[in-house]
Amino acid sequence: MGPVTRLQFGHSGTHSDMHAPDHGGDAWDACSMLGIPVTSIVDFSASVNPLGTSPLAADAIRRAIQFLSFYPNNDCSRLKEAIASYIEGVSSENILVGNGSTEIIHLFSQVFLETADEAIILQPTFSEYEYAITLNGAKPIAVQMEKNFRFDAEVLFKSVTPRTRAIILCNPNNPTSTTLDKSDLEEIVEEAAKRKIMLLLDECFIEFVGDSERRSLSRDSKDHENLVVLRSLTKVFGLAGLRVGYAISNKKTITLLNKFKVTWSVNTLAQAAGVAALSDAKYLDETKHLIRKERPYLKESLHKMGVYITPPKANFMLANLQGRMTALELKQRLLTHGILIRDCSAFRGLDSRFVRFAVRTRKDNMALLRALREELRG
C-alpha cells in the first residue's frame, strides 16, 4: 500500500486566486489560431462519440425548433421518463436533469458542502470537481492514485477527517481510462454512509466500457441517500454542443438537489434531442462496436511506436511520452497536421510527459498515427 497524499488546494476564503478549470475540446480556439473552420480539425482532445450526433437526435432538434418561442419544460418530464426507460430499475423521481454534467457537479457542491467542509478527490481526474468545491467555499483534498493508477479504498478513507463531507470518484476515470469494480464501489458507498459522507460517482463515460454492468451503480443509486451517480448524454450520443447530463439517486436526495437547481437550465432542443437519442439503439450499438474495434487498434499501434499507454477501458487513453518531447510540444506539432490532442500536464498528479487521445474512426486514428510517426521519429 502506498502512502496517503493529502493536499489542500489553494483556498484563502476568497475567489481572487482561483483559476478556471482546464479542459479538452478547445477546437474553436485551435481553429481560430490556425485560420481553418472547426469542421476541418480532427479533435482527439474531446472524448465524444466519433460517429457524431445521433441521427434521431438531429431529426428531433429540427422538429423542436417550432417550440423555441415557449419556455422549456422545467421538470424535463419527457426526458426523465426516457432516462428511466434507458436505466432499467429507476423511475423519474430518482432522476435530475442538468445543463450537462457540469451543472450537477456544481449543484452537488452547493447543496452538500459548506465553508470549511472537506471533499476528497481521487487524483488525477476531471478538474471541474476541484473548481466546484472551491467555488462553494469548501476545501478539496487530493488523494493520489497509486503506481500505475491503481486504487485502494483503504488509502482513500485514511484521508477522511471530521470535516469530510463528500468523496468524488470518476468511473471510468478521466484522464486515466481506468475503472473500479462494482463490488469495490459498493463497499465505498456503505463505508461512506456509516461516516455520513456523500459520494458523487461520475459515470459519464460508462457506456464506452465493455463490461459496464460490472462497473456501474446507476441502478443501485436509488437505494442510497448518500450516493449520487452522474451520467451524460454529451459523450455517448454526440451532444456536446447542447449540454445534457443527469443524476440518479434516492428520491429524497434528488428532491433536495432539485430545490437548488437553476430554473429552465435545460433548453427545449436539448430535451428533445435527449429523448430521441436514448431511443437510438442502432446508433448506440454501432458506437460500442466501433470502440471495441478501434480501442485495441490504436493502443497496440501506439505501443509499437514506443508510446506507453495505460490500459484503457473507455473511449480514450492516457499516453506517457517518456521524455521524447513534452505534451505541449507534441500538441503544437500535431496542430500543424490539423490534429488536436489533450495536453494532460495540467492534471494534478501528472506532468509534462502525459497526453490523452480519444478513440475515433479508423480513418482518423490512422491520420493520428501517421502524424505521430513523423513527429516522434528519432
pLDDT single digits (tens) 198-253: 999 999 999 999 888 889 999 999 999 999 999 999 999 999 999 999 999 999 99
CATH topology of domain 23-52+282-376: Aspartate Aminotransferase, domain 1 (3.90.1150)
pLDDT at 13: 44
- Indicate the class that CATH gives domain 55-279: alpha beta
Are 186 and 180 in contact, with CB atoms under 8 Å apart?
A: no
Handedness of CA 128, 132, 134, 140 (dihedral sign): negative
Res 377 pLDDT > 90: no
For residues 188, 194, 196, 199, the Cα torsion angle rounded to the nearest 10 degrees is: 10
Sequence spans of domains, the chain? 23-52+282-376, 55-279
Res 67 pLDDT > 70: yes
pLDDT at 114: 95
Quickly tell me which residue has 505501443 as its cell. Answer: 303
Q: What is the pTM of this model?
A: 0.92
Closest CA to 216 of 172, 257, 255: 172
What is the pLDDT confidence band of residue 367, given thresholds at 50, 70 and 90? very high
Pick 368 or 156 by higher pLDDT. Answer: 368
Res 36 pLDDT > 90: no
Closest CA to 226 of 182, 203, 258, 194: 194
Closest CA to 47 of 232, 323, 297: 232
pLDDT in tens, 138-158: 999 999 998 889 888 888 999
User: What whole-number distance in Å separates Cα of residue 321 and Cα of residue 300?
Assistant: 15
- Give kind and range of the element (H or E) at residue 146: none
Are 143 and 159 in contact, with CB atoms under 8 Å apart?
A: yes
Res 6 pLDDT > 70: no
What is the pLDDT confidence band of residue 20, given thresholds at 50, 70 and 90? low
Give the rounded distance of the alpha carbon of 227 from its chain centre.
17
Quickly tell me which residue has 432522476 as its cell. Answer: 95
Domains 23-52+282-376 and 55-279 share a fold: no
User: What whole-number distance in Å separates Cα of residue 68 and Cα of residue 74?
Assistant: 14
**Across the chain, which distance is largest between two alpha carbons, in Å?**
60
- Pairing of the two strands 164-170 and 198-202: parallel
Rounded to an integer, the average pLDDT of 73-86 is: 98
- Give kind and range of the element (H or E) at residue 15: none
State the chain's mean pLDDT as an integer.
Answer: 91
- Pairing of the two strands 316-320 and 354-358: antiparallel
Res 18 pLDDT > 90: no
